[in-house]
Structure 1
Amino acid sequence: MKINNFIILLIIFAISGLVKADDEEETTSLDITGDEEELELIPGPVTCEYKKKDLNESYDVDSDISINCNGDSSTCISNHDGVTISEGVVEITTAGTYIVGGNLEGQLRIAATKDDFIHLVLNNANITSFDGPAIFGSKADKVTITLVGENLLNDPANYTLVDEDDEPDACLFIDSDLAINGSGNLTVIGNYKDAIRCKKDLRIVNGTINVQSAVDKGIKVKNSLCIKDGNINVNSTDTGIKVTRDDDAEKGYIVIDGGNVVVSSGNDGIHAETHLTINDGFIDIQKSGEGLEGQMIDILGGEIHIISSDDGINASKVGSSNEDDMGPMGGPMDDMQGMNSMNRTESMGPGGMSPPNGMPGGMPGGKSSEVDSSVYINIVGGKLYITSKGNDVDGIDSNGVLYIGGDAEVYVNVEGGNIYGNMAALDAEGTNAIVPGSTVFATGGGKNSMGGKNNIGGRNNMGSNKNNGMNGNDNFNNRPRFNETENNMNDFFDENRIDKDFIDENTTDSIDNEDSKDNENKKDTSEEQNNIENKSENEMIISNAVNEENTKKIEKEIVKKPKKIIIKKCKPKNISKVKPQAPPQQFESMDSNKNMNFTMPDNINGHNGNMNFTMHDNMNGGMGGGMGSESGIVLQPYIQTSIDTQEAGTEISIIDNENDKTIISYTPEISYASILVSTPKLVEGKEYTIIAGDFTQTITASSPSSSEEIEPPSVTSHSN
Structure 2
Amino acid sequence: MKRKTKYSKAAAALLCSTMLFACSPDAESVKENSTQTETVNTETVEEISSEISQKVTYNEEDYDSSWEDKNPTVIELTGSSANVNSSAAVIVSNSTITIKAAGVYALSGELENGQVVIDAEDKGTVQLVLNGAEINSSESSAIYVKNAQKTILTLAEGTENTVSDGTQYVNTDSEDEPNAAVFSKDDLTINGSGQLTVQGNYNNGITSKDELRMMEGTINITAVDDGVLGRDFVALKEGKVTIDAGGDGMKSSNDEDASKGFIMLEGGSMNITASSDGMQAETSLYAVGGSYDITSGGGSPDSIANRGNQRGSWTNETTAVSDTDSGKGLKAAGELAILGGTFTIDAADDALHSNDTLTIGGGEFTIASGDDGIHADALIETAGGNITITKSYEGIESQQITIAAGTINVTASDDGINVGGGNDGSGMDMMSSGSGTLTINGGNVTVNASGDGLDSNGSIYMTDGTVIVNGPTDNGNGPLDYDGTFEISGGLIIAAGSAGMAQAASEQSTQSSILMTYPQTQEAGTLVYLEDSEGNTVAAFTPAKSYQSVFISSPNLKKDTDYTLYSGGSFSGSSTNGLSTEGEYTNGTKLIDFTITDSVTWLNESGVTTGRSSGPGGNFQGGGQRPEGGSPEGFSGERPARPEQGSMMQQ
For normalisation by structure 1, the TM-score amounts to 0.52
CA contact (8 A) 1:399 1:430 kept: yes
Letter in 2 for 1:208: S
**Percent identity for Structure 1 against Structure 2:** 25
- In structure 2, the partner of 1:484 is none
* More displaced 10-residue stretch of structure 1: 214-223 or 292-301: 214-223
The Cα shift of 1:94 comes to 2.8
SS of match in other structure, 1:415: coil
CA contact (8 A) 1:65 1:96 kept: no
Q: Which residues of 2 match residues 436-475 of structure 1 at below 5 A?
A: 436-446=489-499, 449-451=500-502, 458=507
Letter in 2 for 1:119: R
- In structure 2, the partner of 1:542 is none
Equivalent residue for 1:197, pick from 270, 280, 292: 280
- In structure 1, the partner of 2:198 is 104
What per-residue deviation string (whole Å, max 9, x for no partner) do you get for residues 348-395 of structure 1? xxxxxxxxxxxxxxxxxxxxxxx843x111111111101102xxx211
CA contact (8 A) 1:639 1:700 kept: no
What per-residue deviation string (whole Å, max 9, x for no partner) do you get for residues 238-277 of structure 1? 2111112xxxxxxx11011111122101111111011111
- In structure 1, the partner of 2:186 is 94
Equivalent residue for 1:635, pick from 475, 497, 510: 510
Determine whether 1:692 maps to 2:586.
no
Equivalent residue for 1:431, pick from 466, 480, 485: 485
- In structure 1, the partner of 2:460 is 402
Letter in 2 for 1:639: I
Letter in 2 for 1:397: D
The Cα shift of 1:152 comes to 0.8
The Cα shift of 1:83 comes to 7.1
- In structure 1, the partner of 2:357 is 253
The Cα shift of 1:442 comes to 0.8
Q: Which residues of 2 match residues 547-696 of structure 1 at below 5 A?
A: 634-643=509-518, 645-659=521-535, 661-684=536-559, 685-693=561-569, 695-696=589-590
What per-residue deviation string (whole Å, max 9, x for no partner) do you get for residues 659-712 of structure 1? 3x43333333221121111100223322234343454424335234379xx9xx
For normalisation by structure 2, the TM-score amounts to 0.57
Task: Identify if the C-alpha distance between structure 1 residues 143 and 702 changes in structure 2 by more than 3 Å, giving closer, same or farther.
Answer: same
Determine whether 1:187 maps to 2:271.
yes
Counterpart Cα distance in 1 of 2:209 and 2:276: 25
What per-residue deviation string (whole Å, max 9, x for no partner) do you get for residues 84-133 of structure 1? 977251123332532273322224333334xxx4322242211112x211
SS of match in other structure, 1:292: strand
- Whichever structure has more strand as a proportion of its residues is 2
SS of match in other structure, 1:450: coil
Counterpart Cα distance in 1 of 2:164 and 2:430: 53
Q: Which residues of 2 match residues 283-294 of structure 1 at below 5 A?
A: 283-294=387-398
SS of match in other structure, 2:217: strand
Counterpart Cα distance in 2 of 1:647 and 1:56: 58
Task: Identify if the C-alpha distance between structure 1 residues 151 and 253 changes in structure 2 by more than 3 Å, giving closer, same or farther.
Answer: same
What per-residue deviation string (whole Å, max 9, x for no partner) do you get for residues 28-57 of structure 1? xxxxxxxxxxxx972399874542255768
Q: Which residues of 2 match residues 263-412 of structure 1 at below 5 A?
A: 263-319=367-423, 372-373=434-435, 375-389=436-450, 393-405=451-463, 407-412=464-469
Equivalent residue for 1:74, pick from 136, 142, 148: 136
Aligned residues: 411
SS of match in other structure, 1:43: coil
- In structure 1, the partner of 2:238 is 147
CA contact (8 A) 1:635 1:706 kept: no
CA contact (8 A) 1:83 1:93 kept: no
CA contact (8 A) 1:125 1:152 kept: yes
Counterpart Cα distance in 2 of 1:674 and 1:123: 56
SS of match in other structure, 1:674: strand
What per-residue deviation string (whole Å, max 9, x for no partner) do you get for residues 494-516 of structure 1? xxxxxxxxxxxxxxxxxxxxxxx
Letter in 1 for 2:262: L
Counterpart Cα distance in 1 of 2:486 and 2:359: 24
* More displaced 10-residue stretch of structure 1: 59-68 or 93-102: 59-68
- Whichever structure has more helix as a proportion of its residues is 1
The Cα shift of 1:174 comes to 1.8
SS of match in other structure, 2:66: coil
- In structure 2, the partner of 1:502 is none
- In structure 2, the partner of 1:467 is none
Counterpart Cα distance in 2 of 1:282 and 1:263: 11
Determine whether 1:136 maps to 2:11.
no
CA contact (8 A) 1:650 1:668 kept: yes
CA contact (8 A) 1:637 1:703 kept: no
Letter in 1 for 2:471: V
The Cα shift of 1:147 comes to 2.8
Equivalent residue for 2:597, pick from 703, 707, 714: 703
CA contact (8 A) 2:266 2:287 kept: no
CA contact (8 A) 1:212 1:234 kept: yes
Counterpart Cα distance in 2 of 1:73 and 1:312: 51
The gaps in structure 2 that reach 5 residues or longer are: 1-21, 27-40, 68-125, 154-162, 167-180, 255-260, 299-326, 570-587, 602-613, 615-651
Counterpart Cα distance in 2 of 1:673 and 1:71: 68
CA contact (8 A) 1:294 1:316 kept: yes
> Whose RCO is larger (CA < 8 A, sep 6+)?
1
Letter in 2 for 1:123: G
Counterpart Cα distance in 1 of 2:54 and 2:23: 29
The Cα shift of 1:73 comes to 4.6
Counterpart Cα distance in 1 of 2:213 and 2:401: 33
Task: Identify if the C-alpha distance between structure 1 residues 677 and 52 changes in structure 2 by more than 3 Å, giving closer, same or farther.
Answer: same
Task: Identify if the C-alpha distance between structure 1 residues 295 and 69 changes in structure 2 by more than 3 Å, giving closer, same or farther.
Answer: farther
Letter in 2 for 1:439: L
The Cα shift of 1:323 comes to 6.7
- In structure 1, the partner of 2:24 is 42
The Cα shift of 1:634 comes to 4.0
Counterpart Cα distance in 2 of 1:120 and 1:313: 36
Determine whether 1:206 maps to 2:303.
no
SS of match in other structure, 1:147: coil
Letter in 1 for 2:515: Q
What per-residue deviation string (whole Å, max 9, x for no partner) do you get for residues 579-633 of structure 1? xxxxxxxxxxxxxxxxxxxxxxxxxxxxxxxxxxxxxxxxxxxxxxxxxxxxxx5
Equivalent residue for 1:125, pick from 209, 219, 237: 219
SS of match in other structure, 2:136: helix
The Cα shift of 1:66 comes to 6.1
Letter in 2 for 1:437: G
Q: Which residues of 2 match residues 503-582 of structure 1 at below 5 A?
A: none
SS of match in other structure, 1:52: helix
The Cα shift of 1:324 comes to 6.2
Counterpart Cα distance in 1 of 2:521 and 2:420: 32
Query: What CA RMSD, in Å, does the superposition of the two structures yield over aligned residues?
Result: 3.5
Counterpart Cα distance in 1 of 2:474 and 2:132: 58
Letter in 1 for 2:495: A
SS of match in other structure, 1:51: helix
- In structure 1, the partner of 2:36 is none
